[in-house]
C-alpha cells in the first residue's frame, strides 16, 4: 500500500509519519465497512473528515506557528525533553521526541503517560520541558489531566497540546496549543504538527542542519 507522499527532501521526514497514519486509518475504515462494523452515517462522516484533513493541517500550521516559534526560543537551550501521551497519542509522543532528537540533537524521550510515575517523574524540574498531548475527546483525558497536574506540582515546564475550546488546562502553562477538533482516530495527524514544527524551529535556532542531520541516513540507501 503506497503512501504517495512524494519524494522526501529531508532525512528526518515528517510526511512519512502522517502518510502512514492516514493509510492505516483508510484501511481500518475500509475493513470496518466491508465487515459491517460501522454505520453508513459514521462511515460518511469519517470519510469527510479525512478529506478535510489538508485544510485542517493548513489551519494548524498557520494558526500555531507563532506560538510554537515563541516556545521554541525559550526551550532551545534545554538538555532534555519529555513527551507524554496515552492511547493513540503515545505514538505521537514518540514521533515528537524522535524528530527533536534527530534534528536538534537534544536528548528527548517519548513515554506512556500512564507510566510517568515509574521513572521519568524523578527527572522533572523547571529546566526540563514536558510536552503532554491531551485532547479532550480522548477516552483517557481525565488521566492525562492528572499527569499534567503532577508535573505542574513539581514545577515542571509544561507544553500542552489540546483541542480548541478547552480552557481547563490554561492554568498549567503559558504554552497551551489549541488544535481543531477532529475524530479521535484522526487526532494523531493533527496533534503531531506542533511537535514537528517545534523540532524544526529549535533545530534552526541552534544552527543545526535540518534536512541532513549528522550521523543519520535514509534506510533506503543504507542497510
CATH classification at residue 118: 3.40.50.10490
Helix (H) or strand (E) holding 85: strand 80-85
From start to end of the chain, where are the E strands?
80-85, 107-112, 129-133, 157-163, 175-179
Domain that holds residue 79: 15-205
Residue 198 lies in a domain: yes
Give the residue from 186, 223, 195 showing the smallest Cα distance to 96.
195
pLDDT tens by residue, 163-219: 999 999 999 999 999 999 999 999 999 999 999 999 999 999 999 999 888 887 765
* 104 in any annotated domain: yes
What is the pTM (predicted TM-score) of this model?
0.92
Whether residue 54 is contained in a domain is answered as yes
- Count of structural domains, the chain: 1
Domain membership of residue 102 (yes or no) is: yes
Q: In the structure, what pLDDT confidence band is assigned to residue 12 with cuts at 50, 70 and 90?
A: confident
Question: Is 221 within a domain?
Answer: no
**pLDDT digits 0-9 by tens, 46-104:** 999 999 999 999 999 998 899 999 999 999 999 999 999 999 999 999 999 999 999 99
Percent of residues in the chain assigned helix, strand, coil, to nearest 5: 50, 15, 35
Amino acid at each position: 500500500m503506497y503512501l504517495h507522499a512524494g519524494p522526501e527532501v529531508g532525512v528526518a521526514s515528517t510526511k512519512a509519519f502522517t502518510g502512514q497514519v492516514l493509510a492505516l486509518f483508510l484501511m481500518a475504515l475500509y475493513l470496518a465497512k466491508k465487515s459491517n462494523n460501522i454505520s453508513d452515517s459514521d462511515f460518511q462522516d469519517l470519510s469527510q473528515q479525512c478529506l478535510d484533513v489538508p485544510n485542517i493541517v493548513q489551519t494548524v500550521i498557520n494558526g500555531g506557528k507563532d506560538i510554537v516559534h515563541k516556545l521554541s526560543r525559550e526551550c532551545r537551550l534545554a538538555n532534555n525533553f519529555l513527551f507524554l501521551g496515552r492511547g493513540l497519542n503515545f505514538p505521537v509522543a514518540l514521533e515528537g521526541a524522535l524528530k527533536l532528537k534527530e534534528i536538534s540533537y537534544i536528548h528527548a524521550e517519548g513515554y506512556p503517560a500512564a507510566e510517568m510515575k515509574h521513572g521519568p517523574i524523578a527527572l522533572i524540574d523547571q529546566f526540563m520541558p514536558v510536552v503532554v498531548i491531551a485532547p479532550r475527546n480522548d477516552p483517557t483525558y481525565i488521566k492525562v489531566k492528572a499527569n499534567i497536574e503532577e508535573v505542574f506540582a513539581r514545577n515542571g515546564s509544561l507544553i500542552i497540546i489540546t483541542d480548541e475550546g478547552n480552557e481547563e488546562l490554561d492554568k498549567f502553562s503559558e504554552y497551551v496549543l489549541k488544535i481543531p477538533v477532529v475524530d479521535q482516530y484522526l487526532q494523531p495527524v493533527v496533534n503531531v504538527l506542533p511537535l514537528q514544527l517545534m523540532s524544526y524551529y529549535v533545530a534552526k535556532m541552534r544552527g543545526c542542519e535540518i534536512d541532513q542531520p549528522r550521523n543519520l541516513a535514509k534506510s533506503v540507501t543504507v542497510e
